[in-house]
């Protein structure tokens, strides 16, 4: 078990309470390691809050928060192009509705299990609170692997998934969006089936939709751009910027591509990115259009990049991307992609700042390594909150039946990311954790959610 900040010296009553609840989480949710990790990371920040406000303990707020309001698990039968029947497993966790209807993405990946969805859903509660939009926390997905499937197979899977899930979601109930393996195409298939079952055009029941049926301009770019806007604020506070910095960004999907694009636009030299099969290093700077072409249009491995840019190198091990020397590292692929060892290599290579574009990409030991080395560390729930923030704007646009321009959405996104940075910084300062943004984001999100829960009675 990891230790809380004060445990290192002497455990307080608040620390003992937090540890006891954490032990209960481990015992009551066996085998859900990623969920345990997400809970531990958040709990580690809360000791000073519980010391200052014993009321939270009296309300047993932590026990309430770690238990989802509802968890739905269901069978998803679907038929492939050869006529064979397959059974996937579907999940939706409706974790917390203190601030608004459940809101969170949908992940289709073979690694998905109940623990994955619960870790993502738990993080989503505080992330959504940080955006200051009226949205609660939820998450969903399936162990279905969209890779190598035809469009017809993906459509049939999405229709079967919604055939069950439709009864649990809606514009004022729970609003799914995309995540790994789920983009506007999959959202379109799910929305089409939902519309048929409901017999109504409830465009606000999903976000991340294509523009043609109620999507918002700028949602595709929002998570990656938002991550860079957040990092820009942080760097500015320390008298730095993206200008002439060497940047490494893992992943080659939605978040990664847009983070690379915005960082390059702000003058950074982006030299490496990765996918699940390896990473590329291009000393001339990653050509983002080629990455888009190879990954999104051709559906190839990143290794195809070198055919267009012969100076670039492809390496087979994706984790080895962190051996690339850089000033700023933006992990934008998946959970636990930065191990303690990778963090030590990055710090030995003098990385100045790390910004988590993906959800929980750094292990607890990696985060500690960065913090102890004085690296500027920006946590996922603040850095990648731009995606869900623009999803909330999409919901507002659908309700009002109005549409904003790309520039209007991007301006709002920049303001939201600035606010998240300021609120996280101030929360850290108020609770004696100055400069510790990971704690600040957890504290700010926790207080907002906990206060709303308490005002609604024992819920």
- CA-to-CA separations, 279 to 11, 42, 122, 272, 365, in angstroms, rounded: 43, 31, 30, 7, 23
Could you give the strand order of the β-sheet that contains 174-177, starting from the edge strand earlier in sequence?
A: 70-79, 85-96, 136-142, 102-108, 174-177
Find out whether 303 and 330 touch, Cβ atoms under 8 Å.
no
In the range 382-401, which residues lie near ligand NDP by CB under 6 A?
A: 384, 387
Find out whether 134 and 151 touch, Cβ atoms under 8 Å.
no
CB closer to ligand NDP, 99 vs 294 = 294
Q: Is 218 in the site for ligand NDP (CB under 6 A)?
A: no
Q: Is 216 in the site for ligand NDP (CB under 6 A)?
A: no
Closest by CA position to 64, among listed 101, 30, 97: 97
Q: Is 416 in the site for ligand NDP (CB under 6 A)?
A: no
C-beta of 384: minimal distance to ligand NDP in Å? 4
Q: Is 251 in the site for ligand NDP (CB under 6 A)?
A: yes
Q: Is 254 in the site for ligand NDP (CB under 6 A)?
A: yes
Q: Is 44 in the site for ligand NDP (CB under 6 A)?
A: no
From 50-58, 70-78, 356-364, 367-375, give the range in contact with ligand NDP by CB under 6 A. 356-364
C-beta of 69: minimal distance to ligand NDP in Å? 21
Closest by CA position to 121, among listed 189, 184, 163, 65: 65
In the range 321-340, which residues lie near ligand NDP by CB under 6 A?
A: 332-334, 337
Q: Is 190 in the site for ligand NDP (CB under 6 A)?
A: no
Q: Is 223 in the site for ligand NDP (CB under 6 A)?
A: yes
Q: Is 255 in the site for ligand NDP (CB under 6 A)?
A: yes
Count of residues touching ligand NDP (by CB under 6 A): 27
β pairing state of 246-249 and 269-275: parallel
Asked if 139 is an active-site residue, the reply is yes
From 25-33, 77-85, 164-172, 253-261, give the range in contact with ligand NDP by CB under 6 A. 253-261
Q: Is 358 in the site for ligand NDP (CB under 6 A)?
A: yes
Find out whether 243 and 226 touch, Cβ atoms under 8 Å.
no
Question: What secondary structure letter does DSSP report for 138?
Answer: E
From 27-35, 191-199, 235-243, 272-280, give the range in contact with ligand NDP by CB under 6 A. 272-280
Q: Which two tokens stand for residue 339?
A: 């191990």
CB closer to ligand NDP, 117 vs 375 = 117
Residue 90: phi, psi to the nearest 5? -105, 150
Q: Is 126 in the site for ligand NDP (CB under 6 A)?
A: no
Point out the catalytic residue in the list 103, 139, 209, 232.
139
C-beta of 167: minimal distance to ligand NDP in Å? 25
Binding residue (CB under 6 A) for ligand NDP from 204, 253, 355, 440: 253
CB closer to ligand NDP, 126 vs 180 = 180
CB closer to ligand NDP, 179 vs 410 = 179
459 vs 454: CA distance, rounded Å: 8
Local structure of 362: helix, strand or coil? strand
- Taking CB atoms, the residue at the shortest distance from ligand NDP is 253
Binding residue (CB under 6 A) for ligand NDP from 12, 29, 163, 276: 276
Helix segments in 293-372, DSSP class H: 305-308, 340-348, 364-372
Find out whether 347 and 369 touch, Cβ atoms under 8 Å.
yes
Q: Is 188 in the site for ligand NDP (CB under 6 A)?
A: no
Extract long-range pairs of 421-428: CB within 8 Å, 24+ residues apart. Answer: 421/230, 421/233, 421/234, 421/382, 422/233, 423/130, 423/132, 424/130, 424/382, 425/237
3-state helix, strand, coil in the chain (%, to 5): 50, 15, 30
From 42-50, 72-80, 178-186, 228-236, give the range in contact with ligand NDP by CB under 6 A. 178-186
Q: Is 131 in the site for ligand NDP (CB under 6 A)?
A: no
Residues near ligand NDP (CB under 6 A): 178-181, 223, 250-256, 274-277, 295, 318, 332-334, 337, 357-359, 384, 387
């Amino acid at each position: 078990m990891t230790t809380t900040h004060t445990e290192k010296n002497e455990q307080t009553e608040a620390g003992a309470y937090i540890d006891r609840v954490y032990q209960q989480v481990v015992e009551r949710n066996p085998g859900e390691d990623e969920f345990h990790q997400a809970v531990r990371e958040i709990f580690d920040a809360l000791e000073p809050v519980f010391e200052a406000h014993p009321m939270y303990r009296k309300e047993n707020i932590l026990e309430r928060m770690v238990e989802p309001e509802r968890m739905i698990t269901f069978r998803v039968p679907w038929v492939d192009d050869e006529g064979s029947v397959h059974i996937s497993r579907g999940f939706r966790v409706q974790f917390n509705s203190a601030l608004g209807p459940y809101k969170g993405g949908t992940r289709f990946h073979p690694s998905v299990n109940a623990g994955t969805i619960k870790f993502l859903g738990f993080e989503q509660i505080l992330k959504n609170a940080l955006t200051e939009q009226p949205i609660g926390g939820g998450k969903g997905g399936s162990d279905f692997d969209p890779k190598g499937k035809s469009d017809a197979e993906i459509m049939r899977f999405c229709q079967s998934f919604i055939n069950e899930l439709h009864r649990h979601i809606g514009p004022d109930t729970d609003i799914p969006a995309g995540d790994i393996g789920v983009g506007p195409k999959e959202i379109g298939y799910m929305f089409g089936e939902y519309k048929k079952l409901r017999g109504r055009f409830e465009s606000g029941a999903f976000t991340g939709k294509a523009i043609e049926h109620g999507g918002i301009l700028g949602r595709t770019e929002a998570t990656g751009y938002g991550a860079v806007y957040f990092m820009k604020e942080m760097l500015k506070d320390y008298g730095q910027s993206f200008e002439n910095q060497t940047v490494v960004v893992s992943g080659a999907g939605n978040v990664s591509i847009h983070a690379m694009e915005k960082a390059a636009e702000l003058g950074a030299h982006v030299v490496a990115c990765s996918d699940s099969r390896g990473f590329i290093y291009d000393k001339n700077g990653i050509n983002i259009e080629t990455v888009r072409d190879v990954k999104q249009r051709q559906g190839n491995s990143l290794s195809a990049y070198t055919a267009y840019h012969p100076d670039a190198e492809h390496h087979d091990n994706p984790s080895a991307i962190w051996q690339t020397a850089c000033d700023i590292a933006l992990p934008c692929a998946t959970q636990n992609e930065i191990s303690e060892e990778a963090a030590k290599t990055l710090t030995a290579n003098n990385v100045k700042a790390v910004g988590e574009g993906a959800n929980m990409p750094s292990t607890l030991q990696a985060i500690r390594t960065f913090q102890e080395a004085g690296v500027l560390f920006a946590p996922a729930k603040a850095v990648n909150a731009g995606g869900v923030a623009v999803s909330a704007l999409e919901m507002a646009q659908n309700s009002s039946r109005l549409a904003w321009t790309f520039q209007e959405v991007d301006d709002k996104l920049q303001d939201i990311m600035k606010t998240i940075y300021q609120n996280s910084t101030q929360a850290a300062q108020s609770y004696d954790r100055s400069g510790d943004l990971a704690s600040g984001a957890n504290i700010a999100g926790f207080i907002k959610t906990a206060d709303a829960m308490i005002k609604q009675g024992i819920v």
